[in-house]
Amino acid sequence: MSSKSVGSEHRGGDSVCNVAIVGFGTVGRSVARILLEHPPEKLRLCLIYNRGVDKKKVPWVQPHVRWTERIEDVFAPDIDIMVELIGGLKPAQDWIRAALLAGKSVVTANKQLIAQRGTGLIALARQQGRQIGFEASVAGGIPVIRGLREGLAGDCLFRISGILNGTCNYILTRMEASGLPFASALKEAQDLGFAEADPTDDIEGYDARAKLAILAQVGLQCAIDPSEIGCRSISVIEAIDFAYARRLGCTIRQVSQAEKSAGDKAQLFACVQPALVSLSSPLAQVQGAQNLVMTAGKYGGKTVFSGHGAGGDPTAVAVVSDLIAIAGRGREPGGPVSATETDSSNSSHPVSGEFSSPHYVRFIVRDRPGITAALATVLSNYRINIDALLQEPGMEKSRLPFVITLEECSNAVLERALEEILKFDFHVQPPVSLPVLS
Ligand SMILES: NC(=O)c1ccc[n+]([C@@H]2O[C@H](COP(=O)([O-])OP(=O)(O)OC[C@H]3O[C@@H](n4cnc5c(N)ncnc54)[C@H](OP(=O)(O)O)[C@@H]3O)[C@@H](O)[C@H]2O)c1
């Protein structure tokens, strides 16, 4: 790193930080617009990089901002902060490393990269005396990373839960409000731009688990390999599940949860799954593509963060807030050098997916006498107690949906019981079990 290789952080506290945006897509455009319409003190957008950049140029970007399709320009001495907004692991990881090695600070909205490679990148930033901000990588415009790292730093958090995927929440709340089948709600979400053409990452929970891994690292000080977090798909949910959930005073949401047990050898439980949540819970109030994060702390109790979890503008607000924090912080000796100080471990924490809770199990069967007795026998063999049996009136007997609710039991034990139950010949489709969260 040459002495003239970086800007304001070496030029002294009063000077301006030069910013380069890498990736002029949905979020990149919104970041540029905020930086140009309301230039924050000490920040100047001066470079926009994208491949095939000529196609990207827009008239509202002022002439002092240069456009480039040469990534090397971003690593040049006149740039102080690189904003990575291309997404994906490669080449984003290489470019962030190159920027840090060239003495730049970095801001990114890239959840997969931070969840999978954050530890190494944060270590490199620290080694370089530079900062890496990733507020936008979780829950879009909701300042949850800063809330955990700064606002709740004085507490000992033991649980983080929430709705971290706006696409799933949009689909589930549409099914809830209008009785749409899953496939129609998904198609509507795609037509409106809330879901991608390939929605696998959202529906299967992979997007939410990357965000949960970041939250667990920042809030619970547990580095987790996101692929160790168990995920269950929301695609098994049917419109009838909302009718039965309502009869139980509940609705259905994709819930991400991470919980750390007390003690020296703390166990970490984490999973992403559809679950029944009480209609009075903050989770049930989350509508459309909104996100919500709830924390529980030993001293401060519960805290809730909610707002727009995605979208160009809300996500850009988080990016610009990181830029302002970096520009304001400068490089005082002994001052914070990284957007997280919690990342002390390089090894990932083992994750358990086992928990106990009451459960909702929905069956669709060809009706005949003896079905409930057969189910009750298997469940009792596994020492699982039935709480109630619900059946909507007037359903077709050849495809009869009904629900059994179960008293608190282990999800692993229930899974084994359901494997045995699946061997009966009366199923029209496999049963669906959902935890009922208190
Ligand atoms: N959109 C949201 O609501 C949201 C919310 C939270 C976080 N994020 C995160 O923000 C980041 C950006 O998302 P986005 O929605 O703005 O994506 P986007 O609209 O697809 O924009 C990505 C931009 O980067 C460019 N790009 C991609 N790969 C490139 C490469 N290898 N070389 C050069 N340029 C490349 C693309 O150029 P082309 O047009 O040529 O492909 C495009 O202009 C992602 O990490 C995403 O996960 C997005």
pLDDT (tens digit per residue) in 276-318 = 999 999 999 999 989 999 999 999 999 999 999 889 999 999 9
Ligand 1 atom index nearest CA of 50: 34
The reply to whether 344 falls in a domain is: no
User: Does residue 178 share a domain with residue 131?
Assistant: no
Centre of ligand 1 from the C-alpha of residue 22, in Å? 9
The reply to whether 338 falls in a domain is: no
**pLDDT one digit per residue (tens) for the chain, 438 residues:** 333 334 454 444 558 999 999 999 999 999 999 999 999 999 999 999 999 999 999 999 999 999 999 999 999 999 999 999 999 999 999 999 999 999 999 999 999 999 999 999 999 999 999 999 999 999 989 999 999 999 999 999 999 999 999 999 999 999 999 999 999 999 999 999 888 899 999 999 999 999 999 999 999 999 999 999 999 999 999 999 999 999 999 999 999 999 998 877 778 999 999 999 999 999 999 999 899 999 999 999 999 999 998 899 999 999 999 999 999 876 443 333 344 444 434 567 889 999 999 999 999 999 999 999 999 999 999 999 999 999 988 889 999 999 999 999 999 999 999 999 999 999 999 999 999 998
Give yes or no for a contact between 87 and 108, defined as CB atoms under 8 angstroms apart: no
The reply to whether 347 falls in a domain is: no
User: Does residue 377 share a domain with residue 270?
Assistant: no
User: Does residue 161 share a domain with residue 96?
Assistant: no
Give yes or no for a contact between 219 and 212, defined as CB atoms under 8 angstroms apart: no
Instruction: Please report how many Cα atoms fall inside a 13 Å half-sphere around the Cα of residue 93, on the Cβ side.
Output: 14
Domain range enclosing 245: 144-308
3-state secondary structure of 408: strand
User: Does residue 300 share a domain with residue 154?
Assistant: yes
Choose the residue to mutate in 31, 51, 89 for probing ligand 1, maximizing ligand atoms within 8 Å of C-beta: 51
User: Of residues 211, 298, 302, 423, which has the active-site annotation?
Assistant: 211
Q: Is residue 430 reached through a cis peptide bond, with omega within 30 degrees of 0 on the bond before it? A: no
For residue 100, give every residue at least 6 positions away whose Cβ sits within 8 Å of its Cβ, in sequence order, or none: 106, 121, 124, 125, 128, 130, 132
What is the spatial distance between Cα 267 and Cα 259, in angstroms, rounded to a whole number? 8
User: Does residue 184 share a domain with residue 55?
Assistant: no
How many other β-carbons are positioned within 10 Å of the β-carbon of residue 346? 9
Residue 252 tokens, joined: 């259905």
The reply to whether 3 falls in a domain is: no
The reply to whether 392 falls in a domain is: yes
User: Does residue 126 share a domain with residue 35?
Assistant: yes
User: Does residue 154 share a domain with residue 295?
Assistant: yes
Task: State the greatest distance between any 2 C-alpha atoms of the chain, in Å, as a whole number.
Answer: 83
Centre of ligand 1 from the C-alpha of residue 326, in Å? 22
Choose the residue to mutate in 145, 170, 315, 320 for probing ligand 1, maximizing ligand atoms within 8 Å of C-beta: 315
Q: Does 211 participate in catalysis according to the annotation?
A: yes
Domain CATH for 75: 3.40.50.720
Domain CATH for 238: 3.30.360.10
Q: Strand 427-437 to strand 356-365: parallel, antiparallel, or no bridges (unpaired)?
A: antiparallel
3-state secondary structure of 275: strand
Residues with C-beta less than 6 Å from any ligand 1 atom? 23-28, 50-52, 85-87, 91, 109-111, 136, 140, 310-312, 315
Residue closest via CA to ligand 1's atom 10 equals: 109
Centre of ligand 1 from the C-alpha of residue 108, in Å? 11
* Packing angle of the helix pair 111-128, 206-220 (nearest 10 deg): 30
User: Does residue 410 share a domain with residue 270?
Assistant: no
Domain CATH for 386: 3.30.70.260
Choose the residue to mutate in 30, 61, 82, 86 for probing ligand 1, maximizing ligand atoms within 8 Å of C-beta: 86
User: Does residue 157 share a domain with residue 21?
Assistant: no
DSSP structure string for 161-189: EEE--HHHHHHHHHHHHH---HHHHHHHH
Angle at 242 between CA 199 and CA 274, to 5 degrees: 45
Sign of the Cα torsion 135, 137, 143, 148 reads: negative
The reply to whether 188 falls in a domain is: yes
User: Does residue 65 share a domain with residue 133?
Assistant: yes
User: Does residue 202 share a domain with residue 93?
Assistant: no
What is the spatial distance between Cα 392 and Cα 229, in angstroms, rounded to a whole number? 35
User: Does residue 150 share a domain with residue 288?
Assistant: yes
The reply to whether 125 falls in a domain is: yes
Q: Please state the domain count of the chain.
A: 3
The reply to whether 350 falls in a domain is: no
pLDDT at 408: 98
